[in-house]
Amino acid sequence: MDHKDRQIIRALQRNGRMTNQDLSAEVNLSPSPCLRRLKMLEKSSAIKGFSVEVDAAAYGLPVTVFVRVTLEHHTEDCVQKFEQNIRQVDEVLECFVMTGMSDYLLRVVVADLADYENFVRKRLHPIGGIASIDTSFVYGVVKKTNVFPVVA
Protein backbone atom coordinates (compact mmCIF):
# COMPACT_ATOMS: atom_id res chain seq x y z
CA MET A 1 0.00 0.00 0.00
CA ASP A 2 1.48 3.35 -1.00
CA HIS A 3 0.85 6.96 -0.04
CA LYS A 4 -1.87 7.43 -2.69
CA ASP A 5 -3.77 4.34 -1.47
CA ARG A 6 -3.65 5.75 2.06
CA GLN A 7 -4.98 9.09 0.80
CA ILE A 8 -7.90 7.27 -0.82
CA ILE A 9 -8.62 5.36 2.40
CA ARG A 10 -8.48 8.50 4.59
CA ALA A 11 -10.77 10.40 2.20
CA LEU A 12 -13.29 7.55 2.28
CA GLN A 13 -13.04 7.27 6.08
CA ARG A 14 -14.07 10.94 6.25
CA ASN A 15 -16.87 10.51 3.71
CA GLY A 16 -17.69 7.02 2.46
CA ARG A 17 -20.47 8.37 0.24
CA MET A 18 -18.28 10.55 -1.95
CA THR A 19 -18.42 9.88 -5.67
CA ASN A 20 -15.40 8.57 -7.54
CA GLN A 21 -15.22 11.97 -9.23
CA ASP A 22 -14.97 13.75 -5.86
CA LEU A 23 -12.57 11.15 -4.52
CA SER A 24 -10.27 11.42 -7.51
CA ALA A 25 -10.23 15.22 -7.20
CA GLU A 26 -9.43 15.03 -3.47
CA VAL A 27 -6.49 12.65 -3.95
CA ASN A 28 -5.31 14.33 -7.17
CA LEU A 29 -5.80 11.39 -9.54
CA SER A 30 -7.87 11.08 -12.67
CA PRO A 31 -11.11 9.08 -12.16
CA SER A 32 -10.06 5.87 -13.94
CA PRO A 33 -6.83 5.23 -11.99
CA CYS A 34 -8.60 6.25 -8.78
CA LEU A 35 -11.39 3.73 -9.35
CA ARG A 36 -8.84 1.06 -10.27
CA ARG A 37 -6.98 1.68 -6.99
CA LEU A 38 -10.24 1.62 -5.04
CA LYS A 39 -11.22 -1.74 -6.55
CA MET A 40 -7.76 -3.16 -5.73
CA LEU A 41 -8.07 -1.94 -2.12
CA GLU A 42 -11.44 -3.68 -1.88
CA LYS A 43 -10.15 -6.87 -3.53
CA SER A 44 -7.17 -7.05 -1.16
CA SER A 45 -9.53 -6.51 1.83
CA ALA A 46 -7.67 -3.36 2.88
CA ILE A 47 -11.15 -1.83 2.53
CA LYS A 48 -13.50 -4.29 4.19
CA GLY A 49 -16.77 -2.53 3.44
CA PHE A 50 -18.74 0.68 3.77
CA SER A 51 -21.07 1.66 6.57
CA VAL A 52 -22.91 4.63 8.01
CA GLU A 53 -22.10 6.34 11.32
CA VAL A 54 -25.28 6.63 13.37
CA ASP A 55 -25.96 8.72 16.46
CA ALA A 56 -26.55 6.05 19.12
CA ALA A 57 -28.75 8.34 21.24
CA ALA A 58 -30.96 9.20 18.26
CA TYR A 59 -31.21 5.47 17.54
CA GLY A 60 -32.37 4.84 21.12
CA LEU A 61 -29.13 3.51 22.64
CA PRO A 62 -27.69 6.54 24.44
CA VAL A 63 -25.60 4.66 27.03
CA THR A 64 -22.14 3.40 26.06
CA VAL A 65 -20.44 1.06 28.49
CA PHE A 66 -16.93 -0.36 28.53
CA VAL A 67 -16.93 -3.77 30.17
CA ARG A 68 -13.76 -5.53 31.25
CA VAL A 69 -14.20 -9.28 31.50
CA THR A 70 -11.83 -11.72 33.17
CA LEU A 71 -12.31 -15.44 32.61
CA GLU A 72 -12.11 -18.03 35.39
CA HIS A 73 -9.96 -20.35 33.26
CA HIS A 74 -7.91 -19.83 30.13
CA THR A 75 -8.30 -23.22 28.54
CA GLU A 76 -8.95 -23.36 24.81
CA ASP A 77 -12.52 -24.55 25.43
CA CYS A 78 -13.32 -21.70 27.87
CA VAL A 79 -11.86 -19.05 25.57
CA GLN A 80 -13.64 -20.41 22.48
CA LYS A 81 -16.95 -20.68 24.34
CA PHE A 82 -16.75 -17.09 25.55
CA GLU A 83 -15.69 -15.70 22.16
CA GLN A 84 -18.30 -17.67 20.20
CA ASN A 85 -21.05 -16.54 22.56
CA ILE A 86 -20.00 -12.89 22.69
CA ARG A 87 -20.06 -12.69 18.88
CA GLN A 88 -23.81 -13.40 19.07
CA VAL A 89 -24.61 -10.57 21.51
CA ASP A 90 -25.99 -7.59 19.59
CA GLU A 91 -25.32 -5.08 22.37
CA VAL A 92 -21.58 -5.77 22.08
CA LEU A 93 -20.27 -3.61 19.26
CA GLU A 94 -16.61 -4.47 19.79
CA CYS A 95 -14.73 -7.10 21.77
CA PHE A 96 -10.98 -6.83 22.20
CA VAL A 97 -8.61 -9.43 23.63
CA MET A 98 -6.46 -7.55 26.13
CA THR A 99 -3.22 -7.74 28.04
CA GLY A 100 -3.19 -6.64 31.67
CA MET A 101 -5.71 -7.26 34.42
CA SER A 102 -8.68 -8.19 32.21
CA ASP A 103 -8.92 -10.66 29.37
CA TYR A 104 -11.46 -8.77 27.24
CA LEU A 105 -12.71 -5.24 26.76
CA LEU A 106 -16.23 -4.92 25.38
CA ARG A 107 -17.85 -1.78 23.98
CA VAL A 108 -21.55 -2.11 24.70
CA VAL A 109 -24.52 0.13 23.89
CA VAL A 110 -27.79 0.04 25.84
CA ALA A 111 -30.87 2.18 26.37
CA ASP A 112 -30.46 2.78 30.11
CA LEU A 113 -29.19 1.34 33.39
CA ALA A 114 -32.01 -1.22 33.57
CA ASP A 115 -31.14 -2.35 30.04
CA TYR A 116 -27.50 -2.76 31.12
CA GLU A 117 -28.55 -4.85 34.11
CA ASN A 118 -30.59 -7.03 31.76
CA PHE A 119 -27.57 -7.33 29.43
CA VAL A 120 -25.36 -8.54 32.30
CA ARG A 121 -27.93 -10.90 33.81
CA LYS A 122 -29.39 -12.37 30.61
CA ARG A 123 -26.54 -12.12 28.08
CA LEU A 124 -23.19 -12.20 29.94
CA HIS A 125 -23.84 -14.40 32.98
CA PRO A 126 -25.33 -17.28 30.97
CA ILE A 127 -22.08 -17.58 28.98
CA GLY A 128 -20.44 -18.91 32.13
CA GLY A 129 -16.76 -19.14 32.94
CA ILE A 130 -16.53 -15.45 33.85
CA ALA A 131 -14.52 -14.63 36.97
CA SER A 132 -15.19 -10.89 36.99
CA ILE A 133 -17.00 -8.10 35.18
CA ASP A 134 -15.81 -4.51 35.66
CA THR A 135 -17.97 -1.76 34.20
CA SER A 136 -17.24 1.85 33.22
CA PHE A 137 -20.04 4.09 31.92
CA VAL A 138 -19.22 6.75 29.34
CA TYR A 139 -20.55 10.17 30.34
CA GLY A 140 -18.88 12.22 27.63
CA VAL A 141 -16.83 11.92 24.45
CA VAL A 142 -13.77 14.09 23.90
CA LYS A 143 -12.74 12.64 20.54
CA LYS A 144 -14.17 10.02 18.22
CA THR A 145 -12.84 9.36 14.75
CA ASN A 146 -12.60 6.52 12.27
CA VAL A 147 -9.91 8.26 10.21
CA PHE A 148 -6.47 6.72 10.55
CA PRO A 149 -3.43 8.94 11.10
CA VAL A 150 -1.07 9.62 8.23
CA VAL A 151 1.64 6.98 7.95
CA ALA A 152 5.05 8.23 6.91
pLDDT at position 35 is 97
pLDDT at position 151 is 87
Q: What value does the mean pLDDT take over residues 68-73?
A: 97
pLDDT at position 24 is 97
Statement: residue 3 has pLDDT above 90: yes
Domains of the chain in sequence order: 3-43 (1.10.10.10), 56-137 (3.30.70.920)
Statement: residue 152 has pLDDT above 90: no
Spatial separation of the C-alpha atoms in residues 130 and 4, rounded to whole Å: 46
Say if residues 5 and 37 touch (Cβ distance below 8 Å).
Answer: yes
Q: What value does the mean pLDDT take over residues 71-92?
A: 97
- Residue 114 DSSP class: H
Is the C-alpha dihedral spanning 70, 82, 53, 10 positive or negative? positive
User: Mean pLDDT of all residues in the chain?
Assistant: 96
Q: Which residues contact 148 (CB under 8 A, 6 or more apart)?
A: 6, 9, 10, 13
Spatial separation of the C-alpha atoms in residues 2 and 95, rounded to whole Å: 30
Spatial separation of the C-alpha atoms in residues 136 and 65, rounded to whole Å: 6
Spatial separation of the C-alpha atoms in residues 72 and 54, rounded to whole Å: 36
pLDDT at position 101 is 94
